[in-house]
Structure 1
Amino acid sequence: MKRILLIFTLAIFSLPVFSQNNDLILGKWQNPSGEGRIEITKKGEKYYGKLYWLKEPNDEAGQPKKDIKNPDEAKRERLVQGLQILEGFTSNGKGIYENGTIYDPKSGKTYSCKMTIKGNDKLDIRGFVGISILGRTETWKRVK
């Protein structure tokens, strides 16, 4: 009886270990220049990223930076800090997140994007037009 109780107790306490979230991509990341930090979250089966921190959140006039390069005039009054720049990614279950887009507020352009986890602390972000070969990769580091 003691053996059964011990096995049952071990099973109960080990459940949280096995049910932990395997979404290593979730959390806060910093771009290579250190200018911005993005928080990646999950809604349903899709992943999104919001620009939650800017090294320089204000423009030359001391006002909060706005999305002035956006091709949609109606969106040019949005603040850059707090902007969702990663949208609609799906996981292939092997540390690769694809079929999403990344928005660059500096240029006002949106690119197709693929993200790949490298260990626990690095995230390769590849933005491209058309096919992945025609793109550029940045490595973001996890914010601790």
Structure 2
Amino acid sequence: MLFPVAARAAEPVLGRWVTQNQKAVVQIEPCGAAMCGRIVKLLPKSDVGKTMDERNSDAKLRTRPLVGLPIFLNMKEDDHEWRGRLYDPQYGNTYSSVISRNADGTLRVKGCFFIICKTQTWHPAS
């Protein structure tokens, strides 16, 4: 006998998150039909004196302030995850990304360049 399987929606990723390296707080919120995230605060462990997007590969964007900088771009729900693009101001590069909630309430952030991926765990900001 077959039973219908309920679609499993992505766990909410909305909110404020402290990056794994404790350099910034990122706010994730809806932007149209997707989710987007931006830096809302630099923390004491951030690169001292670095307040602009000076490592951006596009020289025209290097004067953007880090606070307010979009880093999660066009994250769309895909089963139990959110997929889109991740901009990393530490290296000035954009990667494909997958984010999801862990059972303990933390956020799993995965960024990939071709087949090389790196995963971090972010904690809710208090």
CA offset digits 1:84-122 (Å, max 9, x no partner): 01101111242x111x11111111111110011113621
Name the SS for the 1:89 alignment partner. Answer: strand
Report the secondary structure of 2:55's partner residue: coil
Q: Please tell me the root mean square deviation across aligned C-alpha atoms, in Å.
A: 2.0
What TM-score, normalized by structure 2, do the two folds share?
Answer: 0.82
Q: Does 2:17 align with 1:29?
A: yes
Matched, 1:90 2:68: no
**Counterparts of 2:103 and 2:48, CA distance in 1:** 36
Q: Could you say which residue in structure 1 is the equivalent of 2:63?
A: 77
Distance in 2 of aligned mates of 1:69 and 1:117: 29
Say how many residue pairs are matched.
Answer: 116
Secondary structure at 1:39's aligned position in 2? strand
Q: Any conservation in 2 of the 1:69–1:76 contact (CA below 8 Å)?
A: yes
1:125 and 2:109 matched: yes
Deviation at 1:48, TM superposition (A): 0.4
Please say if residues 29 and 141 of structure 1, whose CA atoms lie closer than 8 Å, have aligned partners that are also in contact: yes
TM-score (norm 1): 0.73
CA contact 1:24–1:120 (8 Å) conserved in 2: no
Q: Which runs of structure 1 show a deviation greater than 3 angstroms over 4 or more consecutive aligned residues? A: 56-60
In our comparison, the structure showing a higher alpha carbon Rg is 1
Return 5+ residue gaps in structure 1 as ranges.
1-21
In the TM superposition, residue 23 of structure 1 has moved relative to its aligned partner by: 5.6
* Structure with bigger RCO (C-alpha 8 Å, 6+ apart): 2
Distance 1:107 1:58, change over 3 A: closer
In proportion to residue count, which structure has more helix?
1
Larger strand percent: 2
Moved more, 112-121 or 67-76: 112-121
Q: Percent identity?
A: 25
1:1-144 alignment to 2 at 5 Å? 24-56=12-44, 59-60=48-49, 65-94=51-80, 96-98=81-83, 100-119=84-103, 121-131=105-115, 134-144=116-126
